[in-house]
Structure 1
Amino acid sequence: MRPVCALFLLCAISACGLGGPGFRDPSVIIASNANFDPARYAGRWYEVARYPNAVQSGCAGAIADYQMQPDGSLAIRETCLDGTGAPLREIMGQATLSGPGRLSVRLAGVPGAAPYWVLWVDEGYRTAVLGQPDGRAGWILNRDPVIPADRLTAAREVLAFNGYDLTDLQPSGAMIPR
């Protein structure tokens, strides 16, 4: 199999939540944020930490821009960053609300949709925790590139409460204060 085809297949499998172990204990009940407001969520988010996933392979960090659409969905533009913060590549997509705090995300070039659950957003919509219920992916996002220590601690606690193993959580570039 050609390397490019193998990479695409790996990305597709990861994005759809198929194959490979997850990063959370499936016996732990996972809950999405029932009060999630997509309109307040819209805007720019900086990835602070993530679990390894094939779609973001080679990215030191990412910036995700969500824009409300007239039909209530969110258009997504995710920019993968290199180690200096320069853009490497972009992927476009769309997120539709599939339940309270639950998004069905379709990314361009990736077959199928993946469930992204909003596990927590702080009251000011400054920090968010997203995860896939099968535990194959998870992210800590923040409105600013640097997250305050108290909100980072809270975000990590939310992941742990939902059964995620924090040992595999990777900081994204230099976005977490040293």
Structure 2
Amino acid sequence: MKNIVVPFLLLLLFSCNESSNENDPLETVSVDLEKYTGRWYEIASFPNTFQEGCSCTYAEYTKKEDYIQVYNHCLQDGEVSDISGKAFPAGEGKLKVQFFWPFKGDYYVIDIGQNYEYAMVGAPSRGSLWILSRTRDMDDELYDRLLKLAESKGFDTSDLQKTPQEDCG
């Protein structure tokens, strides 16, 4: 297994993209961290160098006493690429994610399904965005609704790329 710096949350640590909405607060939703734990498949995200060539991307969250253990996984060029980190509660729907001490990145849950079947996560800079699901696929109607919601919150969704989730074994 090769350990390469990849998926989802790592980019949050290095999100310095400027946005016209950067100074506007990014509203979050209420999140029950117990319900949020478990596996989330990446349906789409803004491209980043850490995930180049990734498919079958998912994150696994495990609740610990005062933090959440984060495990990110993808197949990159046919090999497993993964990284572990920690997420610390930082307010309603907000986490501070850390893969490398002392750096922490913002992880804002900006929408979540009533039964925690999907989530949309972004950074206040609007430079990072992920659409996540408990399953490897998502209904087109829901995906389109989430795109519109992201746009209404100041995200430029023209760069959003769907994550291949086929042939994952």
Q: Helix, strand or coil: the match of 2:143?
A: helix
- More strand per residue: 2
**Contiguous gaps of at least 5 residues in structure 1:** 1-6
- More helix per residue: 1
* TM-score normalised by structure 2 residue count: 0.82
**Contiguous gaps of at least 5 residues in structure 2:** none
Select between 87-96 and 41-50 the one with higher mean Cα deviation: 87-96
Between the aligned residues of both structures, percent identity stands at: 26
Deviation digits for residues 133-154 of structure 1 (CA, Å, limit 9, x no counterpart): 1122110000000111232122
* Structure 2 residue 147 is matched with structure 1 residue 152: no
Matches within 5 A, 1:40-59: 40-59=35-54
Q: What residue number does 2:125 align with?
A: 134
Deviation digits for residues 99-121 of structure 1 (CA, Å, limit 9, x no counterpart): 100010001x4750000100000
CA distance 1:23–1:169, change in 2 (3 Å):
farther
CA contact (8 A) 1:76 1:95 kept: yes
The alpha carbon displacement at 1:162 in A equals: 1.0
Matched residues, number: 159
Distance 1:17 1:148 in 2: 31
* TM-score normalised by structure 1 residue count: 0.78
Distance 1:14 1:122 in 2: 24
Distance 1:37 1:110 in 2: 26
Q: 1:46 corresponds to which letter in structure 2?
A: Y
Q: Helix, strand or coil: the match of 1:150?
A: helix
Alignment root-mean-square deviation, CA: 2.5
